[in-house]
A and B are shown apart, each in its own frame.
Chain A
Amino acid sequence: GENVEQHPSTLSVQEGDSAVIKCTYSDSASNYFPWYKQELGKGPQLIIDIRSNVGEKKDQRIAVTLNKTAKHFSLHITETQPEDSAVYFCAAYGKLTFGQGTILTVHP
């Protein structure tokens, strides 16, 4: 089955810095890669996604890049703010398998 690896498990940055979270996937048939933000006590919220026929996608301060040959994709958050603090999950579709999550902490 699909295996999704996510790094780092924790990430601490200062407000205004950039944050990068990386994921790799195993199933070359996976064709859709969403990223979710989960705040304490809430369900995961879709923040950005990318299809396998696209290399990069940007939405304001958030961008995602995909290298299909290497089977890895990354989330980039620029100008981080304290409200960006949460757990971030990558996923791969196949069967919508999640990575292990990254706890992002943005210090004011």
Chain B
Amino acid sequence: DTEVTQTPKHLVMGMTNKKSLKCEQHMGHRAMYWYKQKAKKPPELMFVYSYEKLSINESVPSRFSPECPNSSLLNLHLHALQPEDSALYLCASSRVGVKAFFGQGTRLTVV
């Protein structure tokens, strides 16, 4: 099983809303990642959790707040987003340092 499950698949939110993206894996991976991907661009790293601790934050604005409640779950809390934050948000997981598997992403539209 190499599945990373992301919910929801699509999300439309207003600039004053608070919403959360969810990611789940049951491969026993101890590294989990959030990426942002704009159209026709590569995925851009946002956050990395290693053993449930935040190890990398790529200077992401505070309106994005990650959370790793346990080794299988990763959340991304969204608040006061801007229209330019509209993108595909991808979650990935891996054993630390190798073979990252990606979910299908959440298509986020901020209106």
- Size category of the B interface is 20 to 34
Which of A46, A49, A51, A97 gathers the greatest number of chain B CB atoms within 10 Å?
A: A46
In the bound complex, how far is the Cα of B90 from the Cα of A51, in angstroms?
A: 24
The total number of A-B Cβ pairs within 8 Å is: 48
**B104 at interface by CB-CB < 8 Å:** yes
In the bound complex, how far is the Cα of B42 from the Cα of A81, in angstroms?
A: 24
B105 CB → nearest A CB, Å: 5
Does B97 contact A100, Cβ atoms closer than 8 Å? no
Does A46 contact B101, Cβ atoms closer than 8 Å? yes
A107 CB → nearest B CB, Å: 21
Does A100 contact B42, Cβ atoms closer than 8 Å? yes
Chain B positions 69 through 111: 1 when the CB is less than 8 Å from some CB of chain A, otherwise 0: 0000000000000000000001010000111111111000000
Interface class of chain B by DSSP: strand
Does B99 contact A49, Cβ atoms closer than 8 Å? yes
B58 CB → nearest A CB, Å: 8
**B68 at interface by CB-CB < 8 Å:** no
B110 CB → nearest A CB, Å: 19
- Interface positions, chain B 48-72, Cβ under 8 Å from A, are 48, 56
9 contacts between A and B (CB under 8 A): A43-B103, A43-B105, A46-B101, A51-B98, A96-B92, A96-B100, A98-B44, A100-B41, A100-B42
Q: Footprint of A on B, CB under 8 Å? A: 4, 6, 33, 40-45, 48, 56, 90, 92, 97-105
